[in-house]
């Protein structure tokens, strides 16, 4: 799986993939992440609704800074 990702984290595509991320409900391997990205989604409780709000927040902030 790490080779399929080119050895890089599947989220940031920059850092080396070092952490195998499992779905905590099913135990399925979701992908291999770098330390920071794994920590980041963990801090957002792996909740897609929260992560989507974080994305909107970041994009909204960035948009207002450039307009």
Secondary structure (H, E, C), 8-64: ECCCCCCCECCEEEECCCCCCEEEEECHHHHHHHHHCCCCHHHHHHHHHHHHHHHHH
Binding range to Zn ion, per CB under 5 A, among 18-26, 27-35, 45-53, 54-62: 27-35
Regarding 10 and contact with Zn ion (CB under 5 A), the answer is: no
Binding range to Zn ion, per CB under 5 A, among 24-32, 37-45, 53-61: 37-45
Instruction: For residues 65 and 67, give the distance between their C-alpha atoms in angstroms, rounded to a whole number.
Output: 6
- State the minimum distance, in angstroms, from the CB of residue 67 to Zn ion: 29
Nearer to Zn ion, 17 or 66 (CB): 17
Regarding 34 and contact with Zn ion (CB under 5 A), the answer is: yes
């Amino acid at each position: 799986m790490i080779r399929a990702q080119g050895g890089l984290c599947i989220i940031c595509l920059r850092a080396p993939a070092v952490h195998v991320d499992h779905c905590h409900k099913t135990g399925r391997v979701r992908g291999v992440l770098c330390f920071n990205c794994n920590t980041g989604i963990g801090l957002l409780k792996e909740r897609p609704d929260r992560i989507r709000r974080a994305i909107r927040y970041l994009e909204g902030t960035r948009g207002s800074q450039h307009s």
